[in-house]
């Protein structure tokens, strides 16, 4: 799933990119409104995060232009302009949500996941059909998994991709390269610590004991395997 | 704006309309008053003439009271009565009994000739009923004899006028005891002399009064204003004389100066006054409008300032929070953790600088901005201030070149110097990214000058003064560079509080700011 971010503050732009790539999204980050529109024109996105006060073209302008060609793509404003009128203007222009700064990462991720559920059919990398892995029922379209004890956990897109890849290859050792190709794609090769970090997060959610994982096991020096 | 000018011009238009109406009504009133004044003066003149004629009437009536019938007695009576040109007698049938052609003298024949037309009925009759056909004389032609007889049945005496040859002639008649009429033809010149003698030919300070006969010819005139030869002037007022001279009229001619003095009203003064009021209202309206728009601008700037401050505070705060949560989320990655921690520190410092500016501005507003007395070495302080911003400047591809020649001189207010230099460099980062900035120091005349010169677009000519105003921004649109608009204002106030100044110097390209501070005399 592709995300277009338009944010002139470089620190925030990099932080958002890191967070959303960690979630499994392909991120295109633009430093101003004009570049954002160029990126949109050249290669559409599955949803858009827009700052409002930006050089060249404001977030309002970018939203207006995107809506001219696509009335469906989710658009979320990230802005320090928190007056009610600002929110009204943004929503009237066609935005789907308005996140006020300062926001925390968790809040951002929750909002983005909610949007992803709505536009899941636009994504092509992850199958929409539910599947089971290790007694866990995974619903890709909802980015959720139901555990054996009936509890429901939220999953990131990356985590859904990882589980889907493991479920499709039971008993097969999947090395890091293969997992990067399948779950990151686009020629992206984060460092191995990133993969380990995601696996650790996933285990924390689905394993009864993350220190003694039963579903996704580590194969030292090679990768991981679903038993 | 439209409504504002309507509020100015509508009252002015109404006032102008009312002024025109008042002026017109005033002019009309003055015309009536003037006419009344002139009519009054002519009436006064006429009344005197009428009184003179009335006196003559009484005299003639008394003289004719006996009404003799014998020609010798009538001739004797004629000699006795002043102004009597000829006595005449009508019998009770209206026939002329005296004089008769049979034994008339030459004067009496002249009378008969002059009056031939009236006895024959061709004269203009004055008053009374149209005459009946004369009994005797010209057959079928009406005469005045019968009419006089008829009049004598109504009145004691009266006048009869007719025109012959050189002008108006007058008969005074009185009813005779035998039912006939006795009368005299009045000497016209003598009568005129008596009337003119009664006229008030003095006391007319300006202008001219004329007594004109029935042909319009001036009989007599008086007044200091002389008629222009050949000019036909229109009288300002006319009044017909009373009978028997009712075909004559009095005319009043005003001099131009008199006319202007009497007709000049408040019109011009009113319009001048109205113009003055209008000008005053316009000036007041312009002042109010400018004050109103200035306050709107100030209010808009304050709102814009609050918005930008909000944005400037919230963005780094968001970053701090976001990265802190990333650190927490991925706490086992030491290398990344160190990087994220650096971001948190940097953003915190950025927030601190902004807060310092805002607090300084608040202190300045309360008049409590003052430089601290600590002394610092100028070159070292400038270098340290710039160094703190190196990461930010590097991120914007800004190269810093130092040309420090302060030669160890010291200045007061280290914190202020640090904040001023920081604000100047912050502006370079916002408005002149991607180029070189030169930071220099040198000493001159007991002061040190710190100059920051960039290669950016420079400051537009129309903004050179305004950029030092609080809240001023080159533009308030959403696409303008970030910032609150108080950095330069605070920087200059801090410089002045330290005994120096901050100015925008002329530069061939880019912007060049020069901070001037007095050299500290004694070390703290």
A10 CB neighbours in chain B (<8 A) are: 395
The pLDDT assigned to B193 comes to: 87
Counted across chains A and B, CB pairs separated by less than 8 A come out at 77
Please state, in angstroms and rounded to a whole number, the distance separating the CA atoms of residues A119 and A135: 27
Pair A205, A145: CB distance under 8 Å: yes
- pLDDT tens, position by position, B485-506: 888 999 999 999 889 999 999 9
Please state, in angstroms and rounded to a whole number, the distance separating the CA atoms of residues A102 and A187: 33
Choice between B513 and B265, residue whose per-residue pLDDT is larger: B513
The pLDDT assigned to B405 comes to: 93
Whether this model's ipTM surpasses 0.85 comes out as no
Whether residue A62 is predicted with pLDDT greater than 90 in this model: the reply is yes
| Three-state secondary structure readout of B176-207 | CCCCCEEEEEECHHHHHHHHHHHCCCCCCCCC
Choice between B312 and B105, residue whose per-residue pLDDT is larger: B105
Contacts of residue A174, defined as CB under 8 A and 6 or more positions apart, other chains included, come to A165, A166, A182, A223, A224, A225
Least CB-CB distance to B347: which of A11, A18, A81? A11
Quickly state the pLDDT bin for A33 (edges 50, 70, 90): very high
The pLDDT assigned to B130 comes to: 37
Long-range contacts of B153-158 (CB under 8 A, 24+ apart): B154/B128, B156/B61, B157/B57, B157/B60, B157/B61, B157/B64, B158/B127
Whether residue B353 is predicted with pLDDT greater than 70 in this model: the reply is yes
Whether residue B231 is predicted with pLDDT greater than 60 in this model: the reply is no
Choice between B314 and B110, residue whose per-residue pLDDT is larger: B110
Across the strands, what pairs with B169? B162
Is the CB of residue A52 less than 8 Å away from at least one CB of chain B? Answer: yes
Is the CB of residue A84 less than 8 Å away from at least one CB of chain B? Answer: no
Whether residue B349 is predicted with pLDDT greater than 50 in this model: the reply is yes
Whether residue B140 is predicted with pLDDT greater than 50 in this model: the reply is no
The pLDDT assigned to B131 comes to: 38
Q: Tell me the mean pLDDT in the region B445-459.
A: 93
Least CB-CB distance to B311: which of A53, A57, A104? A53
CB contact under 8 A, A101 and B315: yes
Whether residue B435 is predicted with pLDDT greater than 50 in this model: the reply is yes
Please state, in angstroms and rounded to a whole number, the distance separating the CA atoms of residues B63 and B105: 22
Least CB-CB distance to B325: which of A8, A59, A105? A105
CA of B516 to nearest chain A CA: how many angstroms apart?
33
- pLDDT tens, position by position, B28-38: 887 788 888 88
Whether residue B354 is predicted with pLDDT greater than 80 in this model: the reply is no
- pLDDT tens, position by position, B363-419: 677 666 665 667 889 999 999 899 888 878 888 889 999 999 998 899 988 878 988
A-facing residues of B in 443-502 (CB < 8 A) are 477-482
Whether residue A189 is predicted with pLDDT greater than 60 in this model: the reply is no
The pLDDT assigned to B133 comes to: 35
B320 CB neighbours in chain A (<8 A) are: 102
Q: Tell me the mean pLDDT in the region A94-108.
A: 81
Q: Tell me the mean pLDDT in the region A199-221.
A: 88
Mean pLDDT, chain B, rounded, equals: 80
- pLDDT tens, position by position, B83-102: 899 999 888 777 888 888 88
B346 CB neighbours in chain A (<8 A) are: 11
For an interface test with B, give the residue of A102, A104, A192, A196 to mutate (most B CBs within 10 A). A102
Choice between B438 and A85, residue whose per-residue pLDDT is larger: B438
Is the CB of residue B66 less than 8 Å away from at least one CB of chain A? Answer: no
CB contact under 8 A, B322 and A15: yes
Please state, in angstroms and rounded to a whole number, the distance separating the CA atoms of residues B123 and B169: 11
Is the CB of residue A105 less than 8 Å away from at least one CB of chain B? Answer: yes
CB contact under 8 A, A105 and B478: no
Whether residue B227 is predicted with pLDDT greater than 70 in this model: the reply is no
Is the CB of residue A101 less than 8 Å away from at least one CB of chain B? Answer: yes
The pLDDT assigned to B402 comes to: 95
CB contact under 8 A, B310 and A81: yes
The pLDDT assigned to B240 comes to: 93
Q: Model-level pTM? A: 0.49
CB contact under 8 A, A106 and B479: no
For an interface test with A, give the residue of B311, B333, B473 to mutate (most A CBs within 10 A). B311
Whether residue B317 is predicted with pLDDT greater than 70 in this model: the reply is yes
Contacts of residue A5, defined as CB under 8 A and 6 or more positions apart, other chains included, come to A13, A16, A17, A20, A27, A28, A29, A30, A48, A49
CA of B382 to nearest chain A CA: how many angstroms apart?
26
Which of A71, A28, A35 is closest to A54 using CA atoms? A35
């Amino acid at each position: 799933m592709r995300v277009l971010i338009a944010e002139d503050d470089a620190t925030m732009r990099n932080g958002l990119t890191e967070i959303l790539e960690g979630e499994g999204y392909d991120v295109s980050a633009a430093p101003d409104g004009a570049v954002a529109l160029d990126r949109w024109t050249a290669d559409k996105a599955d949803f858009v995060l827009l700052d409002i006060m930006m050089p060249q073209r404001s977030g309002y302008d970018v939203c207006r232009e995107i809506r001219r060609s696509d009335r469906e793509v989710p658009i979320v404003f990230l802005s320090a302009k928190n007056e009610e009128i600002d929110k009204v203007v943004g929503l009237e222009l066609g935005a789907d949500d308005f996140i006020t700064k300062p926001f925390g990462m968790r809040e951002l991720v929750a909002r983005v996941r909610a949007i992803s559920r709505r536009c899941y059919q636009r994504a092509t990398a992850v199958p929409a059909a539910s599947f089971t892995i290790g007694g866990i029922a995974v619903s890709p379209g909802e980015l959720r998994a139901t555990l054996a004890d009936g509890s429901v956990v939220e999953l990131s897109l990356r985590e859904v991709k990882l589980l889907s890849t493991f479920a499709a290859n039971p008993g097969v050792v999947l090395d890091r390269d293969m997992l990067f190709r399948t779950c990151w794609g686009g020629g992206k090769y984060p460092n191995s610590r990133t993969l380990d970090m995601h696996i650790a997060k996933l285990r924390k959610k689905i394993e009864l004991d993350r220190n003694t994982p039963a579903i996704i096991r580590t194969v030292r020096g090679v990768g991981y395997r679903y038993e | 704006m439209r409504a504002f000018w309507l509020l100015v011009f509508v009252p002015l238009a109404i006032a102008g309309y009312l002024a025109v109406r008042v002026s017109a009504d005033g002019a009309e009133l003055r015309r009536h008053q003037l006419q009344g004044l002139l009519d009054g003066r002519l009436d006064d003149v006429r009344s005197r003439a009428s009184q003179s004629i009335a006196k003559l009437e009484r005299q003639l009536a008394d003289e004719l009271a006996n009404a003799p019938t014998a020609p010798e007695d009538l001739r004797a009576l004629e000699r006795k009565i002043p102004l009597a040109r000829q006595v005449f007698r009508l019998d009770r049938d209206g026939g002329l009994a005296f004089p008769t052609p049979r034994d008339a003298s030459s004067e009496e024949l002249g009378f008969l000739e002059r009056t031939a037309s009236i006895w024959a009925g061709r004269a203009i009759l004055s008053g009374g009923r149209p005459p009946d056909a004369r009994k005797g004389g010209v057959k079928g032609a009406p005469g005045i004899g019968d009419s006089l007889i008829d009049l004598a049945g109504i009145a004691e005496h009266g006048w009869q006028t007719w025109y012959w040859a050189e002008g108006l002639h007058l008969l005074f008649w009185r009813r005779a005891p035998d039912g006939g009429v006795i009368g005299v033809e009045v000497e016209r010149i003598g009568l005129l002399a008596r009337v003119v003698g009664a006229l008030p030919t003095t006391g007319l300070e300006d202008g001219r009064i004329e007594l004109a006969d029935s042909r319009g010819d001036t009989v007599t005139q008086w007044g200091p204003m002389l008629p222009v030869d050949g000019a036909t002037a229109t009288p300002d007022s006319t009044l017909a004389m009373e009978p028997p001279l009712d075909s004559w009229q009095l005319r009043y001619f005003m001099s131009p100066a008199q006319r202007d003095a009497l007709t000049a009203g408040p019109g011009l003064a009113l319009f001048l006054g109205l113009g003055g009021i209008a000008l005053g209202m316009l000036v007041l309206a312009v002042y109010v409008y400018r004050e109103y728009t200035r306050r709107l601008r100030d209010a808009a700037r304050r709102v814009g300032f609050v918005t930008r401050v909000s944005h400037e505070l919230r963005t780094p705060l968001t970053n701090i929070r976001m990265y802190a949560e990333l650190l927490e989320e991925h706490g086992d990655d030491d290398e990344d953790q160190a990087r994220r921690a650096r971001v948190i520190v940097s953003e915190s410092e950025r927030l601190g600088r902004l807060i310092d500016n805002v607090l300084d501005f608040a202190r300045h507003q309360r008049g409590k901005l003052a430089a601290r007395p600590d002394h610092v070495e100028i070159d070292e302080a400038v270098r340290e201030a710039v160094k703190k911003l190196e990461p930010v400047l590097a991120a914007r591809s800004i190269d810093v070149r130092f040309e420090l020649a302060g030669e160890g001189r010291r200045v007061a207010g280290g914190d202020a110097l640090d904040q001023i230099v920081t604000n100047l460099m912050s502006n370079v980062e916002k408005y002149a990214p991607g180029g070189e900035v030169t930071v220099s120091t040198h000493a001159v005349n007991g002061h040190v000058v710190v100059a920051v010169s960039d290669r950016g677009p420079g400051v537009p000519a129309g903004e050179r003064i305004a950029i030092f105003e609080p809240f001023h921004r080159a533009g308030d649109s959403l696409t303008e560079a970030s910032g609150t608009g108080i950095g330069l204002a605070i920087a200059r106030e801090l410089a002045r509080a330290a005994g120096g100044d901050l100015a925008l110097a002329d530069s061939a390209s880019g912007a060049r700011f020069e901070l001037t501070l007095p050299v500290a005399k004694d070390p703290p």
